[in-house]
Structure 1
Amino acid sequence: MEKINIICVDDEREVLDAVVHDLDYFRDLFNIEACESAFECLELLEELDAQQEHVAVLISDHVMPEKSGVELLTEVALDNRFLGTKKLLLTGLATQADTIKAINNAKLDNFLEKVWDPQELLQTVKELLTEYIVEKGLDYEEYIEKLDAPTLYRLIKY
């Protein structure tokens, strides 16, 4: 079984813990990593790449010290090692300009506002994981119980 990671980034520990808790559903088949800054996330990405692990979904807050979530997601989008990584901006403070920048430069896959609905977050991540696994040509059968069936059927070419 391939090692597939979901990374959550937020500088507020309580928020980060809440996101990770809301994603507990995936823990038995996927690694869920928590980072408190963009720089911590970039270090983790280096480690995961060195271990040849997949980074399927990157969820980031926007407003963080030193490097914003949009800057982080843009950097990841421009890194060929992480082509296909699904990017989700989860924030309550992004301006319209920030959001447009994230969509255009970071090739954002989804956007959710804080305070989020845990079920909406779960469903969004299910869809993103499904897209990643199919697009990367991984054996989706190993993960099927946690994937989104409608997305899977839409993407699979028989």
Structure 2
Amino acid sequence: MERLYIVCVEDQKEVLNTIAQQLSYFEDFLSVEECETADEAFGLLEQIERKGDQTAVVVSDHVMPGMTGVEFFAKLKEDARFSAVRKILLTGQATHTDTIDAINRAGIDNYIEKPWKAEVLLDKVAVLLTKYIIHAGLDYQPYVKVLDKQTLFDLLKTG
């Protein structure tokens, strides 16, 4: 069975560690990886794809050196290999224009403001993970303990 990944992108190491620690809830079922730049994350996604595995969800900060979170997500959306990846922008410094750009150009699935509550992040990742698995046609049963039950029910009901 191919491995699924959640990738976290954040240039502040202590914030990145917090995100990864909170997402460790999912680690019995998939891999959680940490990257400090968008370029590093894109390279990791390419490496995951080359191994035949899949990245289901990416959680990224917006304001980072080199490439912003919106630019990174737009790059993923434009690349057929990663267009199905579910995206969460986690930031405290995005402007109203940045947010609109994130939705329109980068196709983000969710926006979470810093500081965030761990349960909000976990809930949103669970929903997006569920959507990714069902839309990708993967067997959801090995992941059922960490999927969002209402989303799973709704998606299975509508087929």
Q: Same fold judged by TM-score > 0.5?
A: yes
1:2 alignment partner in structure 2: 2
Quick one: distance in 2 between partners of 1:94 and 1:156? 35
Q: Which amino acid aligns with 1:145?
A: K
1:114 alignment partner in structure 2: 114
Shift of 1:84: 1.3
Quick one: distance in 2 between partners of 1:117 and 1:127? 16
| Structure 1, gaps ≥5 residues long | none
Percentage identity across aligned positions?
46
Quick one: distance in 1 between partners of 2:2 and 2:123? 22
Quick one: distance in 2 between partners of 1:95 and 1:83? 24
Quick one: distance in 2 between partners of 1:60 and 1:83? 15
Quick one: distance in 2 between partners of 1:147 and 1:45? 22
2:142 alignment partner in structure 1: 142
For residues 29-80 of structure 1, the C-alpha deviation after alignment (integer angstroms, 9 at most, x for no partner) is 1100000001100110110111111110011000001111110011001110
2:39 alignment partner in structure 1: 39
TM-score by length of 2: 0.97
* 3-state SS of 2:62 partner: coil
Q: Which amino acid aligns with 1:99?
A: T
Quick one: distance in 1 between partners of 2:52 and 2:99? 31
Quick one: distance in 2 between partners of 1:122 and 1:34? 16
| Structure 2, gaps ≥5 residues long | none
- Report runs of 4+ in structure 1 exceeding 3 Å deviation: none
1:9-88 alignment runs, 5 A limit = 9-88=9-88
1:123-138 alignment runs, 5 A limit = 123-138=123-138
Are the aligned partners of 2:2 and 2:52 in contact in 1 as well (CA < 8 Å)? no
For residues 63-101 of structure 1, the C-alpha deviation after alignment (integer angstroms, 9 at most, x for no partner) is 001111110011001110012110000000000000100
Over aligned residues, Cα RMSD in angstroms?
Answer: 0.8
Shift of 1:145: 0.7
Quick one: distance in 1 between partners of 2:67 and 2:7? 16
* 3-state SS of 2:81 partner: helix
Quick one: distance in 2 between partners of 1:83 and 1:61? 19
Q: Which amino acid aligns with 2:20?
A: V
TM-score by length of 1: 0.98
